Amino acid sequence: MIQVSKFTYEPGEHEAEKASNSYLMSLIAVVAGLPLPIINLIATFFFYIGNRKGTYFVRWHCTQALLSQFSLLFINSYGFWWTISILFTSETISSKYIAYMLTIILFNLSEFIATIYTAIQTRKGKHVVWWFYGSLTNLICRP
Amino acid sequence: MKRIIFQALLLIALFFCTWFLLQQNDWMKTFKVEETSNKLEQKLGDLFWDIIKKSKKENTNPFLVKSIDSMVSKICKANQIDRSQIKVHVLESDDINAFALPNGHLVINSGLIVATQNQEALCGVIGHEIAHIELSHIMKKLIKEIGLSALITISTSGGDSEIIKEVLKKLTASAYDRTLEKEADLKAVEYLKNADISAEPFANFLYEIALRQGDEPKYLTWINTHPDTKERAAYIIEKSKEYRVINKPVLTPPSWKKLKAILQE
């Protein structure tokens, strides 16, 4: 799912730090934005906007961090509104709902671990490519 | 590009497969959700009933209790409803009202029994309230209007007595939403059909009572809390036409007369 590969050039120390920060940004946002999933995306998006004129390595990793937030946004938002409807409407808790919440916990946890790993590796200047998101980033982000 | 689409589809499939696999376990049982919500319902029901008991007098006349009990039992038996879960109470009050509380408490005001022309109409009202209990409408209404967290607070800490009274008012003097009312009405018709009780007198009772709306409003709580009475009577009649019922009254005519006489005293 996660692959460490060679980037087109050797990134400098400053670049590695900035690229690594894009993942840290999404990590902080995950913690702060758990109740409202859109916060994660907004935070990562602003970091992306701030670095869109950065070097290729920085831009590439900012894009990968942003894209990885998208899929989580959908599944987390669905879970969030489902919970709200249980708390405030006639909707009741069901096995289906609990299974959904466990699924999103699993996916969030996997993303969380992957993000920490990627942040550490990127800080060392290594190029970490995620399954699907990496390919998608290659398509969007050009040198 | 094809590879990306394939990976995206695989990722989506992975998500739904995980969700599907996790659904195979009965999490409600694992996390004892039903047990916990039953406990909450039980606590709320007892709490509300205690408050009512303190402010109003319960009529425990043995003949009255036995008569109402036989009506409830007949409806329950014919519809495979656990009779022991329904706790019937008759309150001494002129208000034409009946309501259901959490944990299967079914409260009927003596005023409502007096207002009914025949026992079938009373059975209709009882059937309607049992339907609210069986279809879990009471907790649905409370959760929707009060919120789950507030209900848990009330049930655990006892809460402020004024707040509890306000919550109780929502059950005794305000209507369920239109969908739930219709659902309870139609279920009541079904219950009556299975118990060999005609639903027509129930509809007629609604018509009659709608005409009395010019009376002192406080005596017509049940009707004021159940809007569109005429419309309800119409769809009850319509639904009852689907079945052919040979009416078998629960009480004998003298018993019904005696029951009314006791209350009119």
DSSP string, chain B: -HHHHHHHHHHHHHHHHHHHHHHTS-HHHHTTHHHHHHHHHHHHHHHHHHHHHHHSPBP--HHHHHHHHHHHHHHHHHTT--GGG-EEEEE--SS--EEEEGGGEEEEEHHHHHH-SSHHHHHHHHHHHHHHHHTTHHHHHHHHHT-HHHHHHHHHH---HHHHHHHHHHHHSSPPPHHHHHHHHHHHHHHHHHTT--SHHHHHHHHHHHHGGGS-GGGGHHHHTS--HHHHHHHHHHHHTTS------SS-HHHHHHHHHHHH-
Q: Check CB contact under 8 Å for A95 and B141.
A: no
Domain ranges of chain B: 44-264
On average, the pLDDT of chain B sits at 85
B158 in reach of chain A (CB within 8 A): no
Q: In the prediction, which pLDDT does B220 show?
A: 58
The predicted model gives B236-264 an average pLDDT of: 87
Q: Is the minimum CB–CB distance between B5 and chain A shorter than 8 Å?
A: no
A131 lies within 8 A of chain B by CB: yes
Please state, in angstroms and rounded to a whole number, the distance separating the CA atoms of residues B29 and B6.
Answer: 37
Q: Which residues of B touch A88 (CB under 8 A)?
A: 143-144, 147
Tokens of B95: 């208000």
Is B56 buried (19+), middle (13-18) or exposed (0-12) by CB count in 10 A?
middle
* 3-state DSSP percent of chain A in helix, strand and coil, to 5: 70, 5, 20
The confidence score (pLDDT) of residue B191 equals 94
How far apart are alpha carbons A54 and A60 in whole angstroms? 9
Alpha-carbon distances of B219 from A116, B54, B99, B216, rounded to whole Å: 68, 21, 14, 6
- Distance, in Å, from the CA atom of A37 to the CA atom of A101, rounded to the nearest integer, reads 14
Range of the domain at A135: 2-140
**Predicted local distance difference test score (pLDDT) of residue B225:** 59
Among all chains, which residue has been given the structure tokens 């809460």?
B159
Number of domains in chain A: 1
Task: Give the C-alpha separation, A138 to A12, whole Å.
Answer: 20
Query: Judging by beta carbons within 10 Å of its beta carbon (0-12, 13-18, 19+), is residue A59 exposed, middle or buried?
Result: buried
- The tokens for A71 are 């899929």
Rounded CA-CA distance B89/B60 in Å is: 8
Question: Chain A neighbours among B 185-244 (CB < 8 Å)?
Answer: none
Task: Please tell me whether the interface predicted TM-score (ipTM) of this complex is above 0.90.
Answer: no
Q: List chain A residues with CB under 8 Å of B31.
A: 98
Q: For A111-142, how does the pLDDT look when each residue is reduced to its tens digit (9 = 90+)?
A: 888 888 888 888 888 888 988 898 889 888 87
Cα separation, B226 vs B40, whole angstroms: 27
pLDDT tens per residue, range B135-183: 988 888 887 777 777 777 777 776 667 777 777 877 777 777 778 888 9
Q: What DSSP string runs through B64-96? A: HHHHHHHHHHHHHHHTT--GGG-EEEEE--SS-
Instruction: Tell which wins on pLDDT, A92 or B113.
Output: B113
Q: Which helix (H) or strand (E) holds A129?
A: strand A127-130
Question: Is A90 in contact with B140 (Cβ distance < 8 A)?
Answer: yes
Alpha-carbon gap: B36 to the closest alpha carbon of chain A (Å): 12
Token pair of A112, please? Answer: 């969380």
- CB of B4 less than 8 A from some CB of A: yes
